[in-house]
């Protein structure tokens, strides 16, 4: 990829937990990092509410410490320039008691979370910002909260009258939402019963309705095709998350489904607005 004005391009992903940078868009982040783009991850929580087996917890005082160590491992594998912690606690899934913890992201005022993201944007000066879609991928409260905060921060970061304490105004040029490829999801949902799994009760805690997610659709405005080298980098980052993937039938199923198709990450472009039918192959397309 070309550089402009001898300045390296910068991309910022704003996500909720350790592993979102890998499982959701790891291929994209690895692709741009390898091309010389400075890629950063602003992570809202340390994944404290995640569950882990005894083997994964060896040497760690808490689940949060373990999950953050996994994130640091994945960040090195992907080639990220840095990881920023936004300072909130994992809220757990909708309806969990952790939603009401005073430090939980779900309890934080939108203006406060957006202000912290504005500070990161103004310090790192990314041309491109990526975050979760409006549904939070699979309706996770933290993903939804991050989506709202990142979108608000994108709009506010260029206005010097807003969050003046966060530094001089800077306006990124493009905002994208990561979206699931529904075709792959539909295939996985059909295959799950053959593996003895209920697509309405997915995940370690059986609280995600994958079948219900299939009906939700977002437009795809950008598609990043991943070559074999990039997929291998993403897979190395995925291996860092032993607590989330070790030996699970679900991970093997989704790995199988993924290998059946062309490897690519898909995005909805929130800004600038799409006019007409458009499909980008580069998130930096049109950057000035």
Q: Are 87 and 14 in contact (CB under 8 A)?
A: no
In CATH terms, is domain 10-181+219-269 a member of 3.40.50.970? no
143: nearest Cα among 152, 133, 153: 133
129: nearest Cα among 282, 280, 270: 270
Tokens in use for 138? 């699979």
pLDDT at 260: 47
CA distance 32 to 42: 16
pLDDT at 288: 81
Pairing of strands 82-88, 38-45: parallel
pLDDT in tens, 38-60: 999 999 999 999 778 888 899 99
pLDDT in tens, 186-243: 777 787 787 777 777 666 555 666 766 676 778 999 999 999 999 999 999 999 998 8
Q: How confident is the model at residue 93 (pLDDT cuts 50, 70, 90)?
A: confident
DSSP type of residue 264: E
Q: Are 12 and 42 in contact (CB under 8 A)?
A: yes
Q: Quick check: 118 pLDDT over 50?
A: yes
CA distance 109 to 179: 25
pLDDT in tens, 127-160: 999 999 998 877 889 999 999 999 999 999 999 9
């Amino acid at each position: 990829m070309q550089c402009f004005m001898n300045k390296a391009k910068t991309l910022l992903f704003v996500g909720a937990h350790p592993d979102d940078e890998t499982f959701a868009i790891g291929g994209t982040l690895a692709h741009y990092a390898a091309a010389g783009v400075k890629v950063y991850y602003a992570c809202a929580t340390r994944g404290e509410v995640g569950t882990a087996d005894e083997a994964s917890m060896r040497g760690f005082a808490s689940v949060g410490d373990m999950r953050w160590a996994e994130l640091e491992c994945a960040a090195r594998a992907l080639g990220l320039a840095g990881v920023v912690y936004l300072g909130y606690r994992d809220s757990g899934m909708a309806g969990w008691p952790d939603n009401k913890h005073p430090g939980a992201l779900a309890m934080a005022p939108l203006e406060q979370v957006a202000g912290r993201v504005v500070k990161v944007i103004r310090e790192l000066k990314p041309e491109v910002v990526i975050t979760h879609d409006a549904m939070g991928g699979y309706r996770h409260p933290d993903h939804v909260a991050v989506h709202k905060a990142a979108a608000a921060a994108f709009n506010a970061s260029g206005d010097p009258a807003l969050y003046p304490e966060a530094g001089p105004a800077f306006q990124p040029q493009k905002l994208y939402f990561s979206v699931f490829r529904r075709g792959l999801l539909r295939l996985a949902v059909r295959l799950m019963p053959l593996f003895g799994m209920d697509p309405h009760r997915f995940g370690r805690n059986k609280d995600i309705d994958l079948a219900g997610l299939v009906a939700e659709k977002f437009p795809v405005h950008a598609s990043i095709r991943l070559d074999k080298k990039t997929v291998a980098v993403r897979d190395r980052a995925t291996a860092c998350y032993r607590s989330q993937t070790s030996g699970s039938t679900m991970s093997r199923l989704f790995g199988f489904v993924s290998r059946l198709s062309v490897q690519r990450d898909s995005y909805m472009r929130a800004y600038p607005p799409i006019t007409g039918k458009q499909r980008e192959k580069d998130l930096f397309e049109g950057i000035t």
